[in-house]
Amino acid sequence: MMELRLEGKTALVVASSQGLGKAIAKQLVLEGANVMLTSRNAEKLQEVEKELRSLQKGNVAYVPADITKKEDIHHLIEKTIETYGTIELLVNNAGGPPAGTFETMTDEEWYKAFELNLLSYIRIIREALPYLKKKGGKIVNIASSSIKEPIPGLLLSNTFRTGIVGLTKTLAQEFAPYNVLINTVAPGRIATERVAFLDKLNAEKFGITKEEMEARMKSTIPLGRYGTPEEFAKVVTFLLSDANSYMTGQSFLVDGGMVKSI
């Protein structure tokens, strides 16, 4: 019998006021974990906290934070320790950077994307590591299917999401002696606000409706549909659980078979 054994474990889930982060937080709460929510939007966090508390399973708290700011990350970790006493599970997550091509991107946009989509992961791991090392722990870094196949028009994401893979692979070796397992999970077309926004953007580019754009995208997915945030969250939850005891430094696609690369 496979047991996840997440009850009573403490998890910090970044960018958890909506989308994939919220779905992961909810799944962990359903498994009985103590979850710390965070994002920049305090109002949304309050709503999600209330929603997850109504499940009457694990514990839920939140701390507003801008993960592009070093001091906010330090405060986030401090408040998590103050609230739950430790951090055993960490989910790094961040919204996608702006769309655009090489000739349209400014230095400022490159710096902002680096801070949001790669440096934030580095800083959060650095702050959480002393606690993860105490009894062993799990880290999941959320990336994008672009780690296997670059997505046209998403240059910034293609560049820094791939950096997450290099970071994860390297840290898996460095953290193994402490029994800290770290993996990357990459979503394909999951039905979130971000994907809806990209569909709208591409529809305008090709002069078609958003519905027609969705149909085009779904036709490239062998399963013929977008995934749900809940389906994605279950994969992440497994990797964070005691059921995963031997997978580290790996990248997992949750994409319905969309990416054709080996």
- Burial string for 231-249 (b: 16+ CB within 10 Å, else e) reads ebbebbbbbbbeebeeebb
12 vs 24: CA distance, rounded Å: 10
Report which DSSP code applies to 117: I
Domain count across the chain: 2
Both 124 and 199 in one domain: the answer is: no
Both 181 and 206 in one domain: the answer is: no
Residue 31 lies in a domain: yes
Both 124 and 247 in one domain: the answer is: yes
Both 198 and 176 in one domain: the answer is: no
Q: Measured in whole angstroms, how far is the alpha carbon of residue 59 from the centre of its chain?
A: 20
Residue 107 lies in a domain: yes
- Predicted confidence (pLDDT) at residue 157 exceeds the cutoff of 90: yes
Q: Which two tokens stand for residue 257?
A: 């078979």
- Looking at residue 1, what is its pLDDT? 80
84 vs 178: CA distance, rounded Å: 21
Mean pLDDT of 236-259: 98
Residue 216 lies in a domain: yes
Contact 139, 14 (CB under 8 A): no
Beta bridge partners of 140: 91, 183
Residue 70 lies in a domain: yes
pLDDT band (50, 70, 90) for residue 113: very high
Give the end-to-end CA distance of the chain in Å, rounded to a whole number.
Answer: 31
Contact 188, 145 (CB under 8 A): yes
Residue 5 lies in a domain: no
- Looking at residue 49, what is its pLDDT? 98
Residue 260 lies in a domain: no
Both 216 and 235 in one domain: the answer is: no
- Predicted confidence (pLDDT) at residue 184 exceeds the cutoff of 90: yes
Both 113 and 201 in one domain: the answer is: no
pLDDT digit string, tens, across residues 33-71 = 999 999 999 999 999 999 999 999 999 999 999 999 999
Q: At what angle do helices 42-53 and 19-30 cross, to 10 degrees?
A: 30
Both 55 and 154 in one domain: the answer is: yes
- Predicted confidence (pLDDT) at residue 201 exceeds the cutoff of 90: no
231 vs 259: CA distance, rounded Å: 17
- Looking at residue 262, what is its pLDDT? 84
- Predicted confidence (pLDDT) at residue 139 exceeds the cutoff of 90: yes
- Looking at residue 85, what is its pLDDT? 97
Both 164 and 200 in one domain: the answer is: no
Both 114 and 218 in one domain: the answer is: no
Mean pLDDT of 95-116: 95
Mean pLDDT of 211-238: 97
- Predicted confidence (pLDDT) at residue 78 exceeds the cutoff of 90: yes
Both 222 and 196 in one domain: the answer is: yes
| Of the candidates 51, 50, 66, 52, the residue with the CA atom closest to the CA atom of residue 11 | 52
Residue 42 lies in a domain: yes
CA distances from 257 to 10, 40, 85, 115 (A): 32, 33, 40, 31
Residue 130 lies in a domain: yes
CATH code where residue 76 lies: 3.40.50.720
Which structural domain range is residue 221 located in?
Answer: 191-226
Both 112 and 197 in one domain: the answer is: no
**pTM of the model as a whole:** 0.95
Round the CA-based radius of gyration of the chain to a whole number and report it: 18
Tokens 């996840």 belong to 4
Q: What is the DSSP track for 36-100?
A: EEE-S-HHHHHHHHHHHHTT-SS-EEE----TTSHHHHHHHHHHHHHHHS---EEEE--PPPPPB
pLDDT band (50, 70, 90) for residue 175: very high
Both 65 and 93 in one domain: the answer is: yes
Beta bridge partners of 185: 142, 252
Mean pLDDT of 127-153: 96
| φ, ψ at 180 (rounded to 5°) | -105, 115
| Of the candidates 164, 5, 166, the residue with the CA atom closest to the CA atom of residue 89 | 5
